[in-house]
Amino acid sequence: MECKKLLKGSGPLLGMIMVQLMATGLQILSRVILSQGTFIFSLIAYRHLLAAICIAPFAFFLERGNGTKITIMVGFWVFLSSLSGITMAMGMFYYGLRDTTATYATNFLNLIPIVTFIFSIITRIEKISLRTLKGKVKVAGTLLCLGGALIISLYKGSVVVHGYHHHHQSHATLTIHKTIKQNWGRGTILLVASVISYATWFIAQVKLLKAFPSKYWATMLTCLSAAIQTALVGACFDRRVSSWKLGWNLELVTIAYSGVLASGASFYLISWAVSTKGPTYPAMFNPLSLIFVAIIEVLLLGQDLRIGSLIGMLVIITGLYSFLWGTSKTEKTKTPLPKSVNGEEASKGIELGGAQVTATVVPTASSTSDDDENYNGTLSQK
């Protein structure tokens, strides 16, 4: 009995660790296949088509007959959500990831809750008072995260840990160094633009779930819309059959991994954690993927870990936890929403368009609204 209680109590904890491990795997796989010349928009299109298929059963069976209608306004917000959160945000993130490293790019994902918070204040979705402790802590956390991002971007420093190079290097390591010429300036600009686009996406989710509160249907439609959008945009850039053809290779493994695990499984686990522990709980585990990615890049991909990245990483993690602490104190003062049969209280707390899209490379973002309109997103994993 005690063992069963322990397992039940640690379920959300283990689930969130699994989500971060899946996100780590997606980051590494994406970094490798992008270095091999994979066409980014075909990758995003196939990934989200599969993600929509994986989430469809949840929509059809858990939200059947809930009376929600798809209107023109709902279609508009679905289109805007997929455009800002997947087509633009994920597209720029992948290009930024290709130009830098997985560790460097993952640092920027931790800035998404902070930028979302700033946007929510600008758009007056959230109000903050500097007279309260929670307000001061959230602002301090925001400044620390932004400072950490500047340290990572502007200061490299000496090598702290050398990449694991030897004469039996893996094929992945050799491929990265031979086929990709890194462009840190361009990559940083793309990653910053990606974070801004992701933050815009979370603001759009407030409007989407107000008009269409069925979270599974909203996520499935968003993924489907994103698959169509990225296919059309990709066709404008590259119409060669070879760029869109799938083979029995690592690209197919990455698409299947991201659609089934980083999207479908992560969506379920994050939804469960939000409904049992609250909307800020999943975001508390985001730094784990950063640590996991850094270790794997050093051991398997031969990337050096520099002191600038290490210091910036620690500052961002400190700022993120400070921000989440202030957010959790805010949420404790709110009246909890009543639970429905389908757990619809969580539908106001999350939108996982692609579920870790982020994952993802879809990020998991902390809550941003004092009106119980908090969101946690993943890329579809990344």
In this structure, is residue 164 part of a structural domain?
Answer: yes
Residue 358 main-chain phi, psi, to 5 deg:
-65, 165
Per-residue pLDDT of the chain (382 residues; tens, 9 = 90+): 555 565 556 778 888 889 889 888 888 888 888 888 889 999 999 999 998 998 888 888 888 777 678 889 999 999 998 999 889 999 999 999 989 888 888 888 878 878 877 887 887 777 777 788 888 888 888 888 888 888 887 787 888 877 665 444 444 444 454 456 778 899 999 999 999 998 888 778 778 878 888 888 888 898 999 999 999 999 999 989 888 988 888 889 999 998 888 766 776 787 677 667 766 677 677 777 878 888 888 887 777 888 888 888 888 888 888 887 877 766 555 544 334 333 333 333 333 333 333 333 344 333 334 333 343 343 344 4
* Region of residue 356 (left: phi > 0; alpha: psi -120 to 50; beta: else): left
* This prediction's pTM: 0.74
In this structure, is residue 208 part of a structural domain?
Answer: yes
In this structure, is residue 338 part of a structural domain?
Answer: no
In this structure, is residue 339 part of a structural domain?
Answer: no
Alpha-carbon span 279 to 10, nearest angstrom: 17
In this structure, is residue 357 part of a structural domain?
Answer: yes
In this structure, is residue 24 part of a structural domain?
Answer: yes
Could you tell me the residue range of the domain that residue 88 belongs to? 14-333+350-380
The token pair at 175 is: 């491929």
In this structure, is residue 161 part of a structural domain?
Answer: yes
In this structure, is residue 342 part of a structural domain?
Answer: no
Alpha-carbon span 82 to 91, nearest angstrom: 11
How many residues are given for the chain?
382
Number of structural domains, the chain? Answer: 1
Burial class of 185 by CB neighbour count within 10 A (0 to 12, 13 to 18, 19+): exposed
